Structures are given as structure tokens and as C-alpha cells.
Amino acid sequence: MGRYLAYAASLLLTLLTLALALRWPQWGWATLVFGLLALLGSWDLLQTRSTLRRNYPILAHFRYGLESVGPEIRQYFIEGDTAEVPFSRQQRSLVYQRAKGVMDVVPFGSQQDVYSVDYEWINHSMAPASIDSHDFRIVIGAACAQPYSASVFNISAMSFGSLSANAVRALNEGARRGNFYHDTGEGSISPYHREKGGDLVWEIGSGYFGCRDEHGRFSEARFVENAQTSQVKMIELKLSQGAKPGHGGVLPAVKVSREIAATRGVPMGHDCVSPASHSAFSTPVGLLQFVARLRELSGGKPTGFKLAIGHPWEWFGIAKAMHETGLLPDFIVVDGAEGGTGAAPAEFIDHVGVPMHEALLLVHNTLIGLGLRDRIRIGAAGRITSAFDIARTMAMGADWCNAARGFMFALGCIQSMSCHTDRCPTGVATQDPRRWRSLDVADKSVRVQQFHDNTLKALRDMLCAAGLEHPQQLGPEHILRRVSPTEVRSLASIYRFVEFGELLDRIPAHAVFRDFWADARSDSFAAPRKVSALCDSKDR
């Protein structure tokens, strides 16, 4: 009967305080409190949807309350400083310190377990280098009419709609101040992207927002209208994203505000659908033809695509199409399956897509093997917050890095994990004006710029210590990883790297190439016959 004790006590106390209130009115507040608890307990007993509440009237609500604040309790009081779930307190603190421009040095030694498996570091040199500037840049689209000199660290794709108006303003002003780019995300170019004048990379997804006709198909005329503005520096076609590759999405009609409708070119009062696949092409060759057309329509701006790697034969089909047709993207952005700022089903967040390290290596190796790597730049995104993250990623094959959640932290994000609820406590990921208007654009834009600037200063210092002069000189031999308590190996010896032009003569002795390269097709994304045969075997 102990489970009904709280309910019984509320009934008895209601009656007792009622009797007291009849004589001494000041007891009325107690009668109200215990009476409400008694009503809650009675409702718990009468309802049929929750067995827990029927068996534990009133008490069940204490469990719900504790459960609702469980993430905050764990984050602030239980989790260690280095527990990455998804970002550790140490990672977040580093971003906050650099964004605020305060001291970011660490006393009394590393909190990392340097003898644990997977611990990584960069070796220093006995002959350190000296680098005057930390403004490391890479030219993208050198053969284009309008090549772009990009920073090696930029803001990854986050749409207006998922981010608030003031968050977009602050990010773009920070990018303008720091001379780096701001990817619009597939939600198109909003007035808030244009307001501050920072460099933009226009991301175009399968919904063709900002360049679609009334039926949701790609519109050349509307594309030209946005693409040829001077603020847009590059065009990025999104094939898939790390958070939910191959999924698509729907913004419900109730959330399609007048501003979002105007920005995306969709009608109000209707669901805003982002399909899982593109309608403008259906084959690898078609993809490259579309990229070439976008480059032409933009006036010769660097044009490429972003993808999260999935079936390897599909990527190999794109690579073969490049080799066969000579149609090349100016860049490829590899998005890791580590997740991103967008909400997605748990299975997609945890178990769909290739993580960034392996995906980046596959793209880099394939282009090396075809002799195309020097003509196509590679960007990479996936949980990048520090200078070492940038160094490791570039050592594994990237030319530059993008970060989304890192710049959200710079805006003041506290990792409350409420991005999908429209109740973001810091005004970053919400469309509620009562919340986002509290985000001070002038202050946060400085923090965005300082996070970028101080991170690249740290990268410069690491490169100097390693005896290097530019992050492009980083290779897999520079990064070391502990693979067991007694064994350390460089990334160059852990991963297999394809030789330049090797795919033109033979299939490398690399499992993924051996299994799927020969069967990949430039005219289709379809699975190889042997893969289809394995699927068909279930029906026999």
C-alpha cells in the first residue's frame, strides 16, 4: 500500500487543512495545495493511459520530473570533463574561451589519458618553423572565371528556420569580420544572410529552395537571380547530410512562416517538403552535368557538391563519371555521419552513414587513384571544434574544414539538446521571437569571429611546433594514434592510401575498391549485380 501513501496523505491533509481553514482562514493556501494534489491523484487513478500513474498516483510525477531534468543533471554534475556526449565539457569550454577572447591555457597537465587506446597527437620538430600569419587560405575553383580564396576553417551548413534570425545575423557578421565563409544550409538565402554582407556558400538541396518553380522543380531563372549576386562565392549542391543521409524532411505547415515561405519560395499553409532525392538528375553523369550547368549559370563561380558517404558503389559511380566525361566539380564537401545541428530519428543519428574519417579517406583515395586530386578540392565536416581537429582532418586528406556546432557554441549554445523543440534557451535554434531577440547580434558576432581567429592562431602554433608552414603540408605521417597499451602507429600506417593514378591501371588491394570498383557504373546508382543477388537470395 506504500504506493498509495502520497495519495492517501493528500486526501487526509486536504480534509485537515480544510477544517483548520474554516476556523483560521490563513490555512486556506494549504487546503488549496493539498486539494490540488488530491485531485491529481484522483485523476491518476481514473485515467487509463498510464499504468505507472494508476499504480503510483502522485508519486509517478516525481519520476517524470526527475527524468525530464536527467540530461541536465548528468551534464552539469555527473559527466566527466572529457566525456563526449556529444561534445565534452572540455570541448565546449575551449570554444567558449576562444569565442570570448579569454585565456585558454590549461594548468597542471592534460586531462586526457595519454595511454588509452585511440589517444592521438601530433609530433613536434627539433627545428620549429616561424609563421607570420594565421590566415591560412586555399584557392577553390582555380580554373573558374570567379575562383574563391577560402579560409581553411568556415561555418558549415545551417539553415534559417533551424537557426533563428539573430543567430544567422551573428554568424554572417562574424564571417564578414573574420574573412571566412558562411554556408547557408539548404533553406536558401534569407534576408538575414544578406543583411551583414559576409561571404556565402549557397547550398542547394533536393527541395531547390530559393531556385524552384511552383511545382518544386529546379528553376534556372530563379537560380540565376540568387547565384549571380556578389555575396555568393560558391555553389554547393547537397546530395546528403551527415545527420540523416537519404532521409529528406518535412517542415510542417504551421511552422512555415511568411519569412520562411518567401526565403524558400514555398507557399504558406502547406508542408515544406525536402525530398530524399533530387529530381534534376538520376545518374552519376546527370549529377555532373547538373553541377556544370550550375557553374555556367552562376557566372563561373566554383561549384561542387556535399555528400555523406553511404553505398561505396554510388560514390565510385560518380568518380567513374568524372573520369569518363571530364566533367569535374570544383570541390566536394564530405559530411561525416557524426550527426549535425538538424534533428533526425535516433537510428539515423546513431547508425546510418559513414563516419567522417573513413568517408574522407575514401573520397581522397579515389581522387588520388584517378589522378584528379589536384583538380578537385575537398572540404570536411564532423565534430570539429579545435585546432587539432582541423590538423588531423587535413592530414587525412581535406583541404579545409567546416564546423556547425562549434560555431553554435560560439553563439552561446549550451548543448541543452532542445534544438527540435523550438524552446532553445539561448535563442540560437528557435523561431520564437521572445527567445531569439535576446541573442545580441553585436556581441555574438564578435565571439564568432574570435572563435575562428583564436582557433587558427592555435593551428599556426601547432604547425610551427611541427616544423611546418601551412596546413596543406600536413600528412597522415604527422598524426600518431595509440592502438593498444603498448603500440603506437601513425595514420599513414593505420590506413591504406592509394597511389597516384593507381585506379587507372589496376584495382588497389583495398577491400572496398576490390569489392565494388569494377561493378560501379557511371550511368546508374543501382547496386552491383552481386549485391542484388544477395538480396534476392532471401526470397528463394
Q: Which domains does the chain have, with CATH numbers?
A: 4-78 (no CATH), 137-493 (3.20.20.70)
Residue 167: Cβ-neighbour burial (10 angstroms; 0-12, 13-18, 19+):
buried
Tell me the range of 18-27, 58-67, 217-226, 408-417 where mean pLDDT is highest: 217-226
For 351-409, how does the pLDDT look when each residue is reduced to its tens digit (9 = 90+)?
888 999 999 999 999 999 999 999 999 999 999 999 999 999 999 999 999 999 999 99
Question: Quick check: 443 pLDDT over 70?
Answer: yes
Task: Give the cell for residue 512.
Answer: 572496398
CA–CA gap between residue 436 and residue 161 (Å, rounded): 12
pLDDT per residue over 185-196, tens digit each?
999 999 999 999
Q: How confident is the model at residue 90 (pLDDT cuts 50, 70, 90)?
A: confident
Model pLDDT for residues 199-218, shown as the tens digit of each residue: 999 999 999 999 999 888 99
Which DSSP symbol is given to 378? E
CA atoms within a 13 Å half-sphere pointing along the CA-CB vector of 191:
6
- Please say if the pLDDT value at position 538 is more than 70: no
Please, which pLDDT band fits residue 421 given cuts at 50, 70 and 90? Answer: confident
pLDDT score at 425: 87
pLDDT tens digits for range 132-186: 999 999 999 999 999 999 999 999 999 998 899 999 999 999 999 999 999 999 9
Position of cell 587513384?
A: 369
Check whether 540 has a pLDDT greater than 80: no
Give percent of the chain above pLDDT 70: 93
Per-residue pLDDT at 169:
97
Of the segments 10-24, 266-280, 458-472, which one has the largest average pLDDT value?
458-472
| Span of 25-34, 117-126, 420-429 with lowest mean pLDDT | 420-429
Kindly report which listed range (52-66, 74-88, 99-113, 177-191) carries the lowest average pLDDT score.
Answer: 74-88
Residue-averaged pLDDT of the chain: 90
Give pLDDT, residue 398.
98
Report whether pLDDT(17) > 70.
yes
3-state secondary structure of 222: helix
For the cut 90, the answer to whether the pLDDT of residue 274 exceeds it is no
Candidates 344, 151, 378; CA nearest to 241 is: 344
Q: What's the sign of the alpha-carbon dihedral 255, 257, 262, 263?
A: negative
Residue 533 or residue 181, greater confidence: 181
- For residue 403, is it left (φ>0), alpha (ψ between -120 and 50) or beta? beta
The conformational region for residue 130 under phi > 0 = left, psi -120 to 50 = alpha, else beta, is beta
The pLDDT, as a whole number, for residue 62 is: 86
CA angle 392, 395, 397 (to 5 degrees): 120
Q: How many CB atoms lie within 10 A of CB 351?
A: 9
Mean pLDDT, range 277-302, rounded to an integer: 97
pTM of the model: 0.88
Q: How far apart are CA 180 and CA 400, in angstroms?
A: 11
In this predicted structure, the answer to whether residue 88 has a pLDDT above a threshold of 70 is yes
More confident residue, 241 or 476: 476
Report the share of the chain in percent with pLDDT over 90: 68
Q: For position 432, what pLDDT does the model report?
A: 85
Question: Where are the extended beta strands (E) located within 239-278?
Answer: 249-251, 272-274
**293-352 residue pLDDT tens:** 999 999 999 999 999 999 999 999 999 999 999 999 999 999 988 866 666 777 877 788
- What tens digit of pLDDT does each residue of 38-73 get? 999 999 999 988 888 888 899 989 888 877 777 666
Beta-strand pair 303-307/331-335 = parallel
Full DSSP string of 482-524? EEETTEEEEHHHHS--PPTTHHHHS--S-HHHHHHTTT-BTTB
Give the helix/strand (H/E) hosting 203.
Answer: strand 200-204
CA distance 403 to 86: 14
